[in-house]
């Protein structure tokens, strides 16, 4: 049990890398960037 807790951050880091790679492969980067730009425009009061 102690060993599992010691290496949990490694598994979470690996999972994050895999999910990020899947998002990039599916073309989700442009979707996220577009939403971020819209949110920024709304905060400034342009959009």
Domain count, the chain: 1
Answer yes or no: pTM beyond 0.85. no
Distance in Å from the first CA to the final CA of the chain:
51
What angle is formed at CA 13 by the lines to CA 19 and CA 21, rounded to 5 degrees? 25
Q: Please name the helix (run of DSSP H) or strand (run of DSSP E) that holds residue 41, with its range, or none.
A: helix 28-44
Which residues constitute the domain of residue 14?
A: 2-44
Percentage above 90 pLDDT, the chain: 51
Q: What are the pLDDT digits (tens) for 10-32?
A: 999 999 999 999 999 999 999 99
Q: Provide the pLDDT for residue 46.
A: 78
Q: Provide the pLDDT for residue 1.
A: 57
- Region 33-44 average pLDDT: 86
Distance CA 11, CA 13 (A): 5
Task: Output phi, psi for 28, to 5 deg.
Answer: -80, -10
Q: How confident is the model at residue 3 (pLDDT cuts 50, 70, 90)?
A: low
């Amino acid at each position: 049990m102690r060993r599992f807790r010691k290496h949990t951050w490694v598994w979470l880091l690996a999972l994050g890398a895999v999910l990020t790679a899947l998002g990039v492969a599916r073309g989700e980067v442009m979707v996220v960037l577009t939403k971020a730009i819209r949110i920024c425009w709304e905060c400034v009061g342009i959009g």
